[in-house]
Structure 1
Amino acid sequence: MNSPTLLRRRAATAGFHLGAGALAVLWLVPIVLVVITATRTFDDIAANGLGSAPHSFSLDGFRQAWTEGGQKQALINSLLVTVPSVLISLLLASMAAFALSRYSLPGRRTLLLVMLAGNLLPPQILLIPVSKMSELVGIYDSLWALIGVQVGFGIGFYVFVLHGFMRSIPPEVQQAAVIDGAGPATIYWRIVLPLARPALAALSALSFTWIFNDLLWAISVLRTETHMPITASLINLQGQYVSQWNVIAAGSVIAAAPTVLVFLRFQRHFVAGLNVGAVK
Structure 2
Amino acid sequence: MYPRQISKDDVLKKYLYLAAVTLVLMLWLLPLGAVILTSVRPASDAAVGNYWGWPSGFDLVKNYTEVFTQTPMGRYFFNSLVITIPSVIGVLVLSTLTGYVLSRYRFRGNTLLFAIFIGGNFLPFQIMMIPVRDLTISLGIYNSYLALIIFHVAFQTGFATLFMRNFIASLPDELFEAARSEGASPLQTLIHVVIPLVRPALAALAILAFTFIWNDYFWAVVLTPSDAVKPVTAGLDNLKGQYVANWSLISAATIAIAIPPVVMFFLMQRHFIRGLTMGAVKG
Matches within 5 A, 1:254-269: 254-269=256-271
- Report the counterpart of residue 47 of structure 2 in structure 1: 46
- Percentage of identical aligned residues: 37
Q: Would the aligned equivalents of 1:98 and 1:163 in 2 still touch at CA under 8 Å?
A: yes
Q: Would the aligned equivalents of 2:80 and 2:232 in 1 still touch at CA under 8 Å?
A: yes
* RMSD (Å) for aligned C-alpha atoms: 1.8
Quote the offset at 1:241 in angstroms.
8.4
What's the TM-score, normalizing by structure 1?
0.92
Q: Would the aligned equivalents of 2:168 and 2:279 in 1 still touch at CA under 8 Å?
A: no
- The structure-2 alpha-carbon separation of the partners of 1:47 and 1:219, relative to structure 1 and needing over 3 Å to count, comes to closer
Q: Would the aligned equivalents of 1:71 and 1:230 in 2 still touch at CA under 8 Å?
A: yes
Q: Does residue 186 of structure 2 align to residue 171 of structure 1?
A: no
Structure-1 separation of matches of 2:12 and 2:183? 59
Q: Give a deviation string over 1:187-210, Cα, whole Å, max 9, x none.
A: 101111121122222111111111
Q: Would the aligned equivalents of 2:239 and 2:245 in 1 still touch at CA under 8 Å?
A: no
Q: Would the aligned equivalents of 1:241 and 1:247 in 2 still touch at CA under 8 Å?
A: no
Q: Would the aligned equivalents of 1:97 and 1:162 in 2 still touch at CA under 8 Å?
A: yes
- Report the counterpart of residue 24 of structure 1 in structure 2: 25
Segments of structure 2 that go 5 or more residues without pairing to the other structure are 1-6
Q: Give a deviation string over 1:148-168, Cα, whole Å, max 9, x none.
A: 010011111111111111111
Q: Give a deviation string over 1:101-138, Cα, whole Å, max 9, x none.
A: 11122211010011111221111111111111111111
Structure-2 separation of matches of 1:159 and 1:254? 31
Structure-2 separation of matches of 1:225 and 1:146? 14
- Report the counterpart of residue 185 of structure 1 in structure 2: 187
Between 1:56-65 and 1:160-169, the stretch displaced more is 56-65
Matches within 5 A, 1:51-90: 51-58=52-59, 59-90=61-92
- Report the counterpart of residue 98 of structure 2 in structure 1: 96
Q: Would the aligned equivalents of 2:207 and 2:265 in 1 still touch at CA under 8 Å?
A: yes
Q: Give a deviation string over 1:193-247, Cα, whole Å, max 9, x none.
A: 1211222221111111110010111111112112110000111112368432111
Structure-1 separation of matches of 2:133 and 2:270? 38
Matches within 5 A, 1:130-209: 130-209=132-211
- The structure-2 alpha-carbon separation of the partners of 1:129 and 1:53, relative to structure 1 and needing over 3 Å to count, comes to same
Q: Would the aligned equivalents of 1:74 and 1:233 in 2 still touch at CA under 8 Å?
A: yes
Is the partner of 1:96 in helix, strand or coil? Answer: helix
What's the TM-score, normalizing by structure 2?
0.91
Quote the offset at 1:16 in angstroms.
3.0
Structure-1 separation of matches of 2:240 and 2:153? 29
In the alignment of these two chains, the number of paired residues is 275
Is the partner of 1:239 in helix, strand or coil? Answer: coil
Segments of structure 1 that go 5 or more residues without pairing to the other structure are none
Q: Which amino acid aligns with 1:33?
A: A
- The structure richer in helix per residue is 1
Structure-1 separation of matches of 2:116 and 2:152? 18
Q: Would the aligned equivalents of 2:211 and 2:261 in 1 still touch at CA under 8 Å?
A: yes
- Report the counterpart of residue 250 of structure 2 in structure 1: 248
Q: Give a deviation string over 1:228-275, Cα, whole Å, max 9, x none.
A: 100001111123684321111111111111111122122221211222
Which of 115, 130, 137 is the equivalent residue of 1:128?
130
- The structure-2 alpha-carbon separation of the partners of 1:6 and 1:254, relative to structure 1 and needing over 3 Å to count, comes to closer
Q: Which amino acid aligns with 1:132?
A: D
Structure-1 separation of matches of 2:20 and 2:8? 20
Quote the offset at 1:32 in angstroms.
2.0
Is the partner of 1:106 in helix, strand or coil? Answer: coil
Is the partner of 1:49 in helix, strand or coil? Answer: coil
Q: Would the aligned equivalents of 2:169 and 2:279 in 1 still touch at CA under 8 Å?
A: no
